Amino acid sequence: MIVTRRRRKPFPWKRLILPVIAIALVSFAIAWPPSRNAITGGPMAPMWQTVGSRFSTVAAPFRFAAQNQLLTAKNRLIKQLQSQIAGLQSQSEAKDKQISSLNAQIAQLQSQAANARSTTTAPVAAPSTASLGVASGSAVSASGDLSAGATQDMRRTAQIWASMEPENAAKVVQRLPVPYVARVFALMSPDDAGAILDALPAAFAAQLTQENPELKR
């Protein structure tokens, strides 16, 4: 018994030539503006409308999916913007609280200064030589170290000024007495105090440094 192997028939490529040419011609006719206008507005307009409506029906689910993706992306962007707005609002509220506390401190200091001006001092007796020496020694020690004897309120004020922007802190500083500002600056780091000094008006900064040379160190 003889077994012969059949040869595999070649693929009929020639049969695909005509369909490919027809598809290419139809695509060209649809893409070329004059022929497209003739198809959509000429005798073939009813058939074109029928085919277009059926294609729209078939492509509707794909359009719906694309719209869903677009809506999802927009919702994600809206959530991100809302979170950013909430963060900015919280920062603004914190700054408002900080400014209100500083305004309260300013009002308290101004009232204390007004009370100090309104009170009259009684005449004191001439100090003795020993007391004068003690007083001069205490004055030297006070002038040598402005931070000596600082109150808790001054230390808290120094921390608040250091955490503020130099321009905002300068607006508060120039409304306060120079000795108080100098003692608070002495409790701050040189970098923070120097940044606020740079933001102060030249006249106020000059008066502050001239009356308190320790701040130049």
Residue 149 — left, alpha, or beta (φ > 0 → left; ψ -120 to 50 → alpha)? left
Alpha-carbon distances, residue 135 vs 210, 211, 214 (angstroms)? 23, 19, 20
Which residues have C-beta within 8 Å of that of residue 67, sequence separation ≥ 6? none
Distance between CA 61 and CA 22 in Å, rounded? 29
At 211, which amino acid appears? E
| All structural domains of the chain with their residue ranges | 66-110, 149-217
pLDDT value, residue 81: 92
Alpha helices in the chain (DSSP H): 17-31, 33-41, 45-118, 129-144, 152-163, 166-173, 178-186, 190-199, 202-211
Where does the pLDDT of residue 185 fall: very low under 50, low under 70, confident under 90, or very high at 90 and above? confident
pLDDT value, residue 136: 34
**pLDDT tens figures, 116-158:** 666 544 333 333 333 323 333 343 334 456 777 788 888 899 8
Highest mean pLDDT, choosing among 3-17, 19-33, 114-128: 19-33
Instruction: Over range 20-46, report the average pLDDT.
Output: 76
* 150 within 8 A of 216, measured Cβ to Cβ: no
**Has residue 40 got a pLDDT over 80?**
no
Instruction: Over range 156-178, report the average pLDDT.
Output: 89
**pLDDT tens figures, 71-113:** 888 899 998 999 899 889 888 888 888 888 888 888 887 777 7
Considering only residues 197 and 55, tell me which one the structure prediction assigns the higher pLDDT: 197
Instruction: Over range 13-40, report the average pLDDT.
Output: 79
Instruction: Over range 22-34, report the average pLDDT.
Output: 80
* 11 within 8 A of 17, measured Cβ to Cβ: no
Q: In this structure, how many other beta carbons lie within 10 angstroms of the beta carbon of residue 170?
A: 20
Considering only residues 2 and 207, tell me which one the structure prediction assigns the higher pLDDT: 207
Alpha-carbon distances, residue 116 vs 120, 121, 148 (angstroms)? 8, 10, 22
What percent of the chain stands above pLDDT 90? 6
pLDDT value, residue 125: 36
Q: In this structure, how many other beta carbons lie within 10 angstroms of the beta carbon of residue 157?
A: 24
**CATH architecture of structural domain 149-217:** Orthogonal Bundle (1.10)
Could you give the count of Cα atoms lying within 13 Å of 12 in the half-sphere of its Cβ?
A: 4
